[in-house]
Amino acid sequence: MPAPQDEERLLAAAKKQLRQASANKFTETDACDRSIEADEDEGEGVQQHVRATRNSKPSSGPKPKNQSYYPDMWKAAIGDGKILFAKIIALENAFPTKEADLSLASQCLASVITEFKDKGLVFEEGYNQTRTMDGIVFAEGTTYRGKLKKMASDHVVTYYADDLKTTKFYDNQQGHLADIAAKVERLVGAQTMFHKDGVDEHGKVNNFMHPCIRDLCIKFFYSKEHHGLAHHYPNEFKDIVPERAVALVTTAIRCALDEYKTGDRKKVDFTGDDYLKVYRMIIQMIEVVNSKPHRQAKWKECRRQWARAGWAKYAQDEVNDTIFSVDVSD
């Protein structure tokens, strides 16, 4: 479940809830009085106030399918449910389908609701967990992968810069594009060079150790942003970057590079239809690496170093956010 630092936000929401309770009593009373007066004037009962006129326009406010529609405590629970579902995306099931896996989102939200209640937090009356709420949590999967893909797209421009441009002179644009396409094919084709970082002192290839993979893992999972799962679930990320997390990042990088397969960038969606097979292939390749003791030890130590670097970067951000003041006057 989310780390202890999230409790302050939840308690703040609970206090806000209590502060509003008194004000809401007066508001509800006034609204009730106005409704009764209107009923008496119209003489048609309560239904007069809930029936929409024939030409009325639908409300432009939030709808039940939006998290913002719900009151504070429910909104907070849905938010934490989304974070828990993102953990499933990163560590268990990268490309769930709504038909088969909506229950996973439902379990995430139910777990958070139970946790909140165990902490003594009180939910606003008139609401219960619904399939619509589960759908909001499930949609986080697409959002989470989309954030990773966008970040991967930015990273490949830097880390594969020499492969995404040509240094040769061509008489026409077609030759220029063909040169880039050939370089990208070398990266993502049968040789799959894009995840490799040269060789070690024994002449063995450093699989899944490319600097782009390293830096994207650190920036995506260890940052203080909403998607930084390491700070929500430190037990899973504190000592080592999980293999499945690396597999997801590597798949996102592959998707970002695929956009250049024709030499000219064309958007490619990061969906299960197109990349579940790639993701599974990468996991199989990691299993091959783990089958060799020397390679497994090197791979594990590499991911430990990434985790240490991630925490160090986060700690440095904390220092940079702190303002110090000293008096050095005599």
Q: Report the pLDDT value the prediction gives residue 328, as an integer from 0 to 100.
A: 42
Report if residue 329 sits inside a domain. no
Q: Report the pLDDT value the prediction gives residue 6, as an integer from 0 to 100.
A: 58
Confidence of residue 271 (pLDDT cuts 50, 70, 90): very high
Q: Report the pLDDT value the prediction gives residue 167, as an integer from 0 to 100.
A: 72
Do residues 162 and 274 share a domain? yes
Do residues 120 and 191 share a domain? no
Nearest-angstrom CA–CA distance, 328 and 84: 48
262-281 b/e (C-beta count within 10 Å ≥ 16 → b): ebeeeebebebeebeebbee
Report if residue 272 sits inside a domain. yes
Report if residue 115 sits inside a domain. yes
Q: What is the mean pLDDT of residues 38-55?
A: 38
Domain termination residue (choose one: 145, 170, 195): 145
Q: Report the pLDDT value the prediction gives residue 10, as an integer from 0 to 100.
A: 56
Q: How many CB atoms lie within 10 A of CB 260?
A: 25
Cite the beta strand spans of 61-163 per DSSP E.
none
Do residues 141 and 158 share a domain? no
Do residues 174 and 190 share a domain? yes
Q: What is the mean pLDDT of residues 237-255?
A: 97
Average pLDDT, rounded, for the chain: 83
Do residues 56 and 175 share a domain? no
Q: Report the pLDDT value the prediction gives residue 68, as an integer from 0 to 100.
A: 95
Report if residue 64 sits inside a domain. yes
Lowest-confidence pick of 22-26, 96-100, 281-285? 22-26
Report if residue 23 sits inside a domain. yes
Report if residue 60 sits inside a domain. yes
Do residues 105 and 156 share a domain? no
Do residues 229 and 135 share a domain? no
Do residues 252 and 309 share a domain? yes
Do residues 168 and 133 share a domain? no
Q: Kindly report the backbone phi and psi dihedral angles of residue 199, in degrees, each rounded to the nearest multiple of 5, phi listed first.
A: -130, 160
Do residues 68 and 182 share a domain? no
209 contacts 197 by C-beta, under 8 angstroms:
yes
Report if residue 328 sits inside a domain. no
Q: How large a percentage of the chain has pLDDT more than 70?
A: 77
Do residues 154 and 138 share a domain? no
106 contacts 134 by C-beta, under 8 angstroms:
yes
Give the residue carrying structure tokens 């893909």. Answer: 149
Q: What is the mean pLDDT of residues 263-279?
A: 96
pTM over 0.85: no
Give the domain range for residue 289: 146-317
Domain tally, the chain: 2
Report if residue 160 sits inside a domain. yes
17-38 b/e (C-beta count within 10 Å ≥ 16 → b): beeeeeeeeeeeeeeeeeeeee
Helices (H), 120-242: 131-159, 173-188, 211-222, 229-232, 234-237
Q: Report the pLDDT value the prediction gives residue 314, as an integer from 0 to 100.
A: 76
CA 67 from chain center: how many Å? 16
Domain termination residue (choose one: 117, 145, 173): 145
100: Cα within 13 Å, side-chain hemisphere? 4
Q: What is the mean pLDDT of residues 43-68?
A: 58
Do residues 119 and 157 share a domain? no
Domain termination residue (choose one: 145, 171, 189): 145
Q: Report the pLDDT value the prediction gives residue 50, as an integer from 0 to 100.
A: 36
89 contacts 144 by C-beta, under 8 angstroms:
yes
